[in-house]
Structure 1
Amino acid sequence: MKFEITHETSYLFSSEVFLEPHYFRFYPRQNSYLEVQDFSMYIAPSPKGQKQILDDESNTVVFCWFEGMTESLTITTKSIIENKPFNPFDFILYPQSFNEMPFKYDETQKKSLYFTLEKQDISKALSDYGKDILKASENNTIQFLSQFTKQLHKDFSIEYREVGSPMSPDETFILKKGSCRDLAWLQINVLRHLGAAARFVSGYYYFDMEVPAFELHAWTEVFLPGTGWLGLDPSHGILTGNTHFPIASSAHYENTMPVSGGIRGSANSKLITELTIKKI
């Protein structure tokens, strides 16, 4: 099955500004069941120069620099992606010790996974929330990850918030509601406190709906030897499948933002986005 994804992002400034160098993260990540067959990016104003690079976490990034003044910045991308059948449960964990949590990575893995194991403080209540689900899952790794993801979907209300960083895990836990990025960041931090390497993923998610209204999506990936990075979508209570289209992943959400860069000037800005995903 093929999908066409068109994503337009516009910043409108209240007065002219100078655009500092910018990083754009819109290129979908390929894997064994997702093939990017075509990708195009249109940027206005046209950059003085641009270069496609891999960042330090192997995400494809378009780095651009500009000249002159402008009252707007628009990035329009179009991706054609073909997916293949995919069973997210078609794997084994190896060594077998990883079938039970908490587990321990070997020393080499600890070094390469260092930042995805980095903890931030969370409350005892939130820590106990994760531990209670782990206990109910009899410490079975896959049962726990699946149930934890389902439980977040059940216990929290999802709300749309177009801009802003994720709330702190404890704030989301207290409110019992949040955006997709809030739930992902909560899940990531609970997993890290249980000794599992976890990272933040931004991308697109397609599912059938009567009135299509898509938006940039966020979810979690956890590293399990034998399967690699396993995707968990707490907003929908599922493991990620072949209609989750990842763009960028990082130990920290700031490094997955689709647009990052500064301006010179004192203008206010307004963000307008439009995203369409359709089968072709």
Structure 2
Amino acid sequence: MRLKIIHETKYNFSSEVYLEPHQLRLKPKSTSFCVLDSFDLEIHPNPMATREQIDPENNTIHFVWFQNKTKELIIRTNSLITISEYNPFTFIIFPSQYLQVPFNYTEELKTALFASLRNMDIDQSLKDYSSSVLEKSNNTIDFLTNLTQQIHNDFELCYRHEGYPFDPNKTFNLKKGSCRDLAWMQIHLFRNLGIAARFVSGYYYIKVDKPKYELHAWGELFIPGAGWVGFDPSYGVVTGNAHIALVSSSHFDQTMPVTGTIRGGGNSILNTTLYINEL
């Protein structure tokens, strides 16, 4: 299957502003089942320069800087991707000490995974929620999939176009949230059990009659023997070839598609469009 993805982000400013350097995280990752055939980045106004670089967590970032004033910033990406069949359960957990939750990583892994193990304080009620799922089965895969499905069943998925993910406690009390709210809550449920988890931003492609695509978010866990495995609480699934990752990080603020500041007064209006078409 071949997909064409067109993603446009547009900022309109009420008065002319200077654009400070911006970081763009919009280039799809290539994986064993998702090959990026081509990628084009268009920016208006034309930046003075664009530098593609790799960040400390192995994500591709386009660092751009500008000159002169402008009343708008338009960022448009065109990606062609080839998707192949993929079974997300084609792995074994090894060594056997990781077959049951809770488990302890080796000291070497703890060092490598340090940022993805940092957990925030969450309410006891939220800890009890994951404990109730763990009581059903402490088999690692059973627990991870059961908790993902439980969140999907118990929480209402709603759409919130802007803003950082809610605090996990807030999402739990509301019993609803955007994809990023649910992912961030689940990440901290896993981290409180000593499981390394990171935040992923990307696309989720499903063939529907009247598609309306938006950026999507989910979590990835590090399981020895399997590596990083994605779990999507919004849909209650282990991620497969319908999930196309752009960027992953131990903290959501390093996955924002566009980050940067402006100099000058006035307000801004953000509009985004995302088209995913099967060729």
Alignment of 1:84-233 (within 5 A): 84-137=84-137, 139-233=138-232
AA at the equivalent of 2:23: Y
AA at the equivalent of 1:172: T
Please give the alpha-carbon distance, in whole angstroms, between the structure 1 residues aligned to 2:208 and 2:84.
21
CA RMSD after TM alignment: 0.5
Please give the alpha-carbon distance, in whole angstroms, between the structure 2 residues aligned to 1:39 and 1:257.
19
Q: Secondary structure at the match of 1:27?
A: coil
Q: Secondary structure at the match of 1:136?
A: coil
AA at the equivalent of 2:213: F
Please give the alpha-carbon distance, in whole angstroms, between the structure 2 residues aligned to 1:213 and 1:101.
38
The residue aligned with 1:34 is 34
Q: Secondary structure at the match of 1:249?
A: strand
AA at the equivalent of 2:102: P
Task: Please list every run of 5 or more consecutive structure 1 residues that lacks an aligned counterpart in the other structure.
Answer: none
The residue aligned with 1:258 is 257
AA at the equivalent of 2:133: I
Please give the alpha-carbon distance, in whole angstroms, between the structure 2 residues aligned to 1:28 and 1:267.
33
Provide the TM-score with structure 1 as the length reference.
0.99
Alignment of 1:12-31 (within 5 A): 12-31=12-31
Q: How far is the alpha carbon of 1:42 from its aligned partner?
A: 0.2
Please give the alpha-carbon distance, in whole angstroms, between the structure 1 residues aligned to 2:242 and 2:128.
33
Q: How far is the alpha carbon of 1:208 from its aligned partner?
A: 1.6
Q: How far is the alpha carbon of 1:168 from its aligned partner?
A: 0.4
Please give the alpha-carbon distance, in whole angstroms, between the structure 2 residues aligned to 1:144 and 1:268.
46
Q: How far is the alpha carbon of 1:131 from its aligned partner?
A: 1.1
The residue aligned with 1:243 is 242
Task: Render the CA deviation track for 1:199-237: whole Å, top value 9, x for unaligned.
Answer: 000000001222100000000000001010000010000
Identity %: 49
Task: Please list every run of 5 or more consecutive structure 2 residues that lacks an aligned counterpart in the other structure.
Answer: none
AA at the equivalent of 1:115: A
Provide the TM-score with structure 2 as the length reference.
0.99
> How many equivalent residue pairs?
279
Runs of 4+ aligned structure 1 residues displaced above 3 Å come to: none
Q: Secondary structure at the match of 2:165?
A: coil
AA at the equivalent of 2:277: K
Q: How far is the alpha carbon of 1:197 from its aligned partner?
A: 0.1
Task: Render the CA deviation track for 1:36-77: whole Å, top value 9, x for unaligned.
Answer: 001001000000011000011110000000000000100000
